[in-house]
Structure 1
Amino acid sequence: MADRELDDGVAVGAAAELLGVTVRTLHHWDEIGLASPSVRTTSGYRRYTGADLQRLHRIVAYRGAGLGLDAIREVLDDATAEIGATLREQRSRLAERIHDLQQLDERLQRMTEAHERGILLSDDEQSATFGADWDPRGSGRARVVWGNSPQWAQFAERSASRTRAQWQSLSDTMSTLQRDLSDALDQGVAPGSPEANALVERHREVFSHFFPLTRQMQVCLGRMFDSDPGFSAHYDRIRAGLASWFRQIIDESARTHGIDPDTAIWQ
């Protein structure tokens, strides 16, 4: 742009194009007194002089560095302002923001992986945590079946923030419950008895660490524990007949809460 043209002043549209900002932005800066056109033509139009454009260029530069408009005003108008100190402070705030964004990115990564993998432990870690009989491919198969369900999403959301120590604690709690179920069967605890119902409630409480488990959903799990070859073999390895008895005590507990096990659905 020629010096003569700058001396005569530049219209707001041309100034906006020169600076790479919008006309609306220049109007806003004018309204708040940050940068205003200094001259007015005989026709009444306001125009930016060369000095005005120099100020605007500085505003754009500092805004690009992340300073707020109040900080920019101080840098430009306060003769006592230390620009270096202001920029160092901005860098400090930026470093904090970068740290927060890195943490957010890590949380998003874990959430993504949890939705895709389920349990965020290596195969060796899973075997060490859940026992030698544990199949690390199990959560992958579960995702194929349940991946579009709200329960899988809830499982993944909790898995994303769960540490190996927390998985170990949960595994130990589940193992203790399974031993207590086996002992109760050995002792002849009858389905529908207070002792059996207490074990069913413990199971629902422990399982709800994965996702909220309603009593109707628990009935559906009981059916699966008894009918699915993999689950029934797991429970029957703990104690012969445990899978069938476990289903029975779940069904009888459900009846005490007005639920017909024969018609219970996953809800």
Structure 2
Amino acid sequence: MKIKELADLVGISVRTLHHYDEIGLFKPEKTNASGHRLYFEDDLEVLQQILFYKELGFPLKKIKEIIHSPDFDRQEALELHRKTLLEKSCRISKMLELIEKMIQHSKGEIRMSNKEKFEGFNFSHNPYEQEARERWGDRAVDHSNNKIRNMSKEEQKNLEEEMSFIYRNLADLRHQSPSSQEAQSAIHKWFEWLNTIGDYSLEAFKGLGQLYVDDKRFTKNIDQFGEGLALFMRDAMAVYADNSQQ
């Protein structure tokens, strides 16, 4: 089929397909006598993979690396897509259930404990992993992931609970000065926690704090514990890094 036919079939614009071609992401191998691009069954499968990865939040540059790698296995990729989407569906269901309970709680229809208010959050999942790979490279992220995988289920659960405790504690302190002794003591625990699963220098720690504010996805997620928490953590992390380097 020609490019317009493919665009209509898939539901994306011709301009998008032209862009994919220009960057070497999705380029048909054949053209007709007039020079028009021609797409075949194999091309459709490649495009489907691109759209799967795009839906999961991968940048085009990374998608190009993946699907054009000699080690790329389409069947394995499909299995991974299914697993990822099922996990995402499960998380959304849990969050919807939590929100329904919170609505009932706010109306006074039920009473929830503080622990129950955070049961829908899953800190073992990192929705910003791809962002981290783009900023700090695959090696650093893989090192962190391997640390977590080598932990027992109980150790992972304890790690999640500790993270939740640190966030709640910081949320309670967010109206204080980021340079206060209490704030710095709390942010020190966050620095130690991060280095439990990774290898953060003071400079990287400070940069991560800035990302909490620059990236609205981070801000939205962190501020669920208290409005303004991301900004407070950014400032506290900067003070901590600067003071520790003196």
TM-score (norm 1): 0.44
- Greater gyration radius: 1
